[in-house]
Structure 1
Amino acid sequence: MDKWKRLIALMALAAGIIALIPGRMDAMNGVSAKSAILMEQHSGRVLFAKDAYTKRRIASITKIMTAVLAIESGKMDDLVTVSARAVRTEGSSIYLRQGEKIKLRDLVYGLMLRSGNDAAVAIAEHVGGSVEGFVFLMNKKAAEIGMRDTEFANPHGLDDAENHYSTAYDMALLMQYAMKNSEFRRISGTKVYRAPAPPGEEGARVWRNKNKLLTGLYEYCTGGKTGYTKRAHRTLVTTASKDGVNLIAVTLDAPDDWNDHIAMYEYGFSHYHIANVSGKRIVGKITDPFYEGRLRAARDLQYPVTSEEENELRVNVYLLKPRAEWKEDPDRVPAAVGKAVLYLHDKAVDETPLLYEHKKEKSGENSFWDLFSFLGVRSDG
């Protein structure tokens, strides 16, 4: 009996230790999705992951890529003539009519808010010349973004091809890329949109966003895209912002996706904040007489960290060794003369170019910088 008592005591002790691990263990156990990820938008840091690199069907979150290519085409004000192929597309629809002319911009809103498969085909034919040509552009863009475990076979995500898949991680990369575009952010975050009525009808088409997190379930949600097919099941990509922290959540095959996303966001917002190192303060610490007062950081250094990680941050500055001809003729100094690199646990996590300015600048004032250790300046010839 003593043996069993000791075993029970050890099990209780182990359970107690696990319970002390902050949030992450509970979040992992509580997410219903087969694959899930939580990513910080600026840095791409993964704050939470569950089987995030497994290839799965993605359904209508495919349309994020379709929207990106439409926006980047520069044709958003074009009038698109709706084809018979577009009208015959199965699944969710914005009820386009064959032969009607509608702005590409309106189609993108119908695509993102109402998940119109007919809109996806109409967009693909106009932007890519054909659906097949557009799919080529989709895969080319995926490669550019770094989506290594993704292949697109159509612009809408229907289960009509076996070679149409992605991963939670790749879809987060896509959303991170998309959110850099102001028009995509605006469309993704629109709750209600009114488009012109089809020919012969009065009034307007009114499209309400299917993203329930955006329209009422979660006050910090800023956008996203829903998805569902019988083979992919429920898929969802959303974004949320709170107190300067901008997050991306992705779930694949998730029976309880709304709550999955809320749980991941609450975990991220409660455990992480953005550490900011002022660019002015960085250059203000540089004492090299050639560069002193003449440098400007392209931007501040930023990275999401926990309170415990904050003390592990440091910055190194790397500068080109000044050349004799630069001192004789400052106009020959290149625009970028170095970089400042932010490290966490000896891993580089962010960097910014240091730019030379011919007009001497005043050094910055004390800032948040004082929370971090500055490890001097290195000159590289």
Structure 2
Amino acid sequence: MFSLLLMLAPIAGALPPPVEPVDEFPQVAAAYWVEVDGVPRWAGQPDRRLPMASLTKLMTALLIAETADLEAVVTIGVGVARETGSRIGLRAGERVRARDLFEAMLVRSANDACRALADWHGGDQATFVKAMNLRAWQLGLKNTRFADACGHDSPQQYSSVRDLAVLARAALARPEIVAAAARPDFRFSTLDGRVFTMNTTNALLGRFDGATGLKTGYTPGAGRCVIAVAQRDGHEVLAVFLNSPDRWSHTAAVLEVALTEAR
């Protein structure tokens, strides 16, 4: 996993970080962003608009955490049961606690759990997407647009790594998101008695020292994406990678360099 460490030699840390982060690791992704303790450190193509796959679900999670009752019961609709991509197999008519859908969306990146929350909270997905774009505007995300709640490929669904770092910081302020994103696995039962067990999609959790989240994504159009957070020795690193050719090795290597320099 850490084969890139020799390539990513630490940079002398005597000088303070520049106002605009430098592109030190252009090979790691089509676009990337790394900040240490909230200060931008390295970035490549920070404002390039790219598909973001299931990193989209971080905005869905933020809206739900800010405005919804997670103890409410959601009845699964027909459209939810027909969702494609990553899913856990929810069935129309099942009754599920919103909190369990929320956890499944963040732990397993389940599109059916995500769609269920969007349809329930917004009344329909189109209304929920309008709320997503309004929240993006409120956060100052200038290169972001949402077309659905879950992250399917669409010309009208894109973001930049700079914008996603801002979104990630807003998400990290919500304890519900932080807790769910750090789970290595999750198990719940519907109110109808069906049991679901799932593992995280985040390969860094439990394998990279200090990893705490945050969200993964993949579609054919977006490639392999991740927003990663790691904490060590009192320092925190946030990294955003869009379309990374070797997502886990590259992310782990850059996190290690950043955490080593921060000591």
**What TM-score does the superposition give when structure 1 sets the normalisation length?**
0.62
Partner Cα separation in structure 2 for residue 205 and residue 82 of structure 1: 15
Report the Cα distance in structure 1 between the residues aligned to 2:66 and 2:172, rounded to whole angstroms.
13
Deviations 1:4-27 (A, max 9, x none): xxxxxxxxxxxxxxx996399995
Does the 8 A contact of 2:114 with 2:150 survive in 1? yes
Partner of 1:155: 149
Q: What's the counterpart of residue 125 of structure 1?
A: 119
Matched residues in 1 for 2:107 and 2:148: separation? 19
CA distance in 2, matches of 1:250, 1:239: 9
Matched residue, 1:40: 36
Structure 2 residue 101 is matched with structure 1 residue 101:
no
Contact 2:24/2:43 (<8 A) preserved: no
Report if aligned partners of 2:96, 2:190 keep a CA contact under 8 Å in 1: no
Amino acid of the structure 2 residue aligned with 1:142: A
Cα-to-partner distance string for 1:144-199 (whole Å, 9 max, x where unaligned): 1121110001001111x311000111111111111011111111111111110573
Counterpart residue number, 1:262 = 252
Give 1:225's match in structure 2, choosing from 215, 237, 252: 215
Q: Are the aligned partners of 1:209 and 1:215 in contact in 2 as well (CA < 8 Å)? A: no
Alpha-carbon separation, structure 2, partners of 1:147 and 1:256: 27
Deviation track 1:200-257 (CA, whole Å, cap 9, x = no partner) reads 64xx3112111000132x1210011111111111111111101111121110010111
Aligned counterpart, 2:82: 88
1:50 aligns with one of 40, 44, 52: 44
Distance 1:223 1:79 in 2: 27
- 2:64 corresponds to which of 60, 63, 70: 70
Determine if contact 1:196/1:205 at 8 Å carries over to the other structure. yes
Give the length in aligned residue pairs. Answer: 248
| CA RMSD across the alignment | 2.1
Instruction: Pick from 187, 190, 199 the counterpart of residue 183 of structure 2.
Output: 190
Alignment of 1:162-181 (within 5 A): 162-181=155-174
TM-score (norm. length: structure 2): 0.88
Secondary structure of the corresponding residue to residue 85 of structure 1: helix
User: Contact 2:10–2:257 at 8 Å: present in 1 too?
Assistant: no
Larger Rg: 1
Which amino acid in structure 2 is aligned with residue 28 of structure 1?
Answer: F
Match of 1:291 in 2: none
Alpha carbons of structure 1 residues 210 and 20: separation in structure 2 relative to 1, 3 Å: closer
- After TM superposition, what 4+ stretches of structure 1 lie above 3 angstroms from structure 2? 19-27, 197-201
2:261 alignment partner, one of 261, 264, 271:
271
SS in 2 for 1:214: coil
- 8 Å Cα contact 1:48-1:264 kept in structure 2: no
Cα distance, 1:32 vs. partner?
2.4
Percent of paired sites with the same residue:
32
Which amino acid is 2:222 matched to? Answer: A
Which amino acid in the other structure matches residue 233 of structure 2?
Answer: D
Q: Who is 2:196 aligned against?
A: 205
Change (3 A) 1:246 1:200: closer
* 1:40 Cα deviation from its structure 2 partner: 3.1
Cα distance in 2, alignment partners of residues 20 and 163 from structure 1: 38
Structure 2 partner of 1:356? none
Amino acid at match of 2:31: S
Unpaired runs of 5+ residues, structure 2, are 1-8, 14-20
2:178–2:214 Cα contact (<8 Å) kept: no
Select the structure with the greater relative contact order (CA < 8 A; seq sep ≥ 6).
2
Q: Which moved more, 1:57-66 or 1:257-266?
A: 257-266
- Alignment-mate amino acid for residue 178 of structure 1: A
Q: Is the 8 A contact 1:232 1:253 kept in 2?
A: yes
Q: 2:25 aligns with which of 24, 28, 32?
A: 28
Whether 2:241 is the aligned partner of 1:241: answer: no
CA–CA distance in 2 between the matches of 1:20 and 1:74?
44
Instruction: Give the match for residue 138 of structure 1.
Output: 132
Q: Is the 8 A contact 1:27 1:264 kept in 2?
A: no
